[in-house]
Amino acid sequence: MQIKLTSPPISKERNILGISREELLSFMQEFENQPKRASMRVSQLWSWIYCHGITSFEKMTNIDKDLRSKLTKAFVVSRPNIEKKERSNDGTIKYLFCLDDNSKIETVFIPEETRSTLCISSQVGCTLNCSFCHTGTQKLVRNLSSQEIIGQVIAVYDDLDLWKKMKKDRGISSYFEVITNIVFMGMGEPLLNYEEVKKACNILMDNKGLDFSRRRITLSTAGIVPKIKMAHEEIGCMIAVSLHATENKTRDILVPVNKKWNIEKLLGSLRDDVELRNSERITFEYVMLDGVNDTEEDARRLVKLLQGLPSKINLIPFNSWTGSNYKRSSSDRIKAFRDIIIKSRIPSPIRTPRGEDIMAACGQLKSNSTKEKAGI
């Protein structure tokens, strides 16, 4: 199976959003002769951008006017445009973002009682063609840049007016007021856009800015085996694996990348290459498809496959979309499947579908971007 990677387009204007601290310091050294002053300017810019959400250099009042003028000529501070915003009956919000080249991506904000999660995209479209996933019906247009990945988070902060609330992590009255978790479970396979995703994660985790704990960021992968160890060691955030089947014959259909890295190679890599810390577990995502992967035999095989590997299994009732031939397993079948797993002492929550009425649930995201429409 050949996997084609497509790079983000080169922007005419350099967006300072999504630039690493190291890159920013290099730019500041061109403006400031003294290393200490250049470092100070980076800290000031970082605070304005990632703690206050400022979009204009002119509003960065602790930076002298001459430097602000130079920065204005060299950079922009921009976010992707919100083309459409839909709110579900359950409070979930789906954003359709329009990028500079007119490509479209979707991002989902999911508030819950004890946390709020932002589900972000890493690519326009996807190249993996998972048969149960709506995004899989959209051909890969291109990878997202770190600016476009971070831009999704920043744009939602803007829209929900979270800048004033982000540091009020005590006495939060509602989890509509803060984003506690970031999951790369939107459009695309994050490990096939590794360098840009890595850069974005480092910015998200910077403790002088957005300050997300590594345990609050999850990369979801269909099983890009060579990148899993790298992501765990170099990024350090949590890993979720889209398993979805217990036999290669079935997984070849559901997750075609299995033909390159099958279940044995995938689980072997997780056992040998991923060194878990303390109480960490690897999360496995398992979509429940009626008559496909939901038998009690499947559940017992799943337990056997994961034996000795600290795991958590998220059971995901299939979320339908127009054109799909799959159906959701019955509630009784899902519960019976879960009970077998729980008896083996593996945590196995059943995920409550969120945002189904606006096509924002797991596996339902898709934009209408194509290579032609995006001008690529």
Domain identity same for 49 and 91: no
Predicted confidence band at 133 (pLDDT cuts at 50, 70, 90)? confident
Q: Say if 6 falls within a structural domain.
A: no
Domain identity same for 147 and 280: yes
pLDDT tens for each residue of 108-121: 999 988 889 999 99
Domain identity same for 36 and 95: no
pLDDT top residue among 122 and 133? 122
Give buried/exposed letters for 131-159 (b at 16+ CB in 10 A, else e).
Answer: bbbbbbbbebbbbbbbbbbbbbbbbbbee
Query: Which residues belong to the active site?
Result: 106, 362
% of the chain beyond a pLDDT of 70 = 89
Q: Does 217 have pLDDT greater than 50? A: yes
Structural domain containing residue 62:
14-76
Q: Say if 305 falls within a structural domain.
A: yes
Q: Which residue in 82, 229, 93 sits closest to 155, CA to CA?
A: 82
pLDDT for the residue numbered 175 = 43
Is-above-0.85 flag for pTM? yes
pLDDT for the residue numbered 333 = 96
Mean pLDDT calculated for residue range 155-162: 94
Predicted confidence band at 373 (pLDDT cuts at 50, 70, 90)? very low
**Measured in Å, how far apart are the chain's first and last C-alpha atoms?**
23
| Last-in-domain residue among 76, 95, 128 | 76
Domain identity same for 64 and 172: no
pLDDT tens for each residue of 30-63: 988 888 999 999 999 999 999 999 999 999 999 9
Mean pLDDT calculated for residue range 252-256: 96
pLDDT for the residue numbered 137 = 74
Average pLDDT, the chain: 88
| Last-in-domain residue among 60, 76, 92 | 76
Domain identity same for 35 and 153: no
Domain identity same for 311 and 294: yes
Quote the number of domains for the chain.
2
pLDDT for the residue numbered 79 = 93
Domain identity same for 156 and 224: yes
Domain identity same for 86 and 30: no
% of the chain beyond a pLDDT of 90 = 74
Contact 316/293 with Cβ under 8 angstroms? Answer: no
Q: Say if 3 falls within a structural domain.
A: no
CATH number at residue 42: 1.10.150.530
Domain identity same for 181 and 209: yes
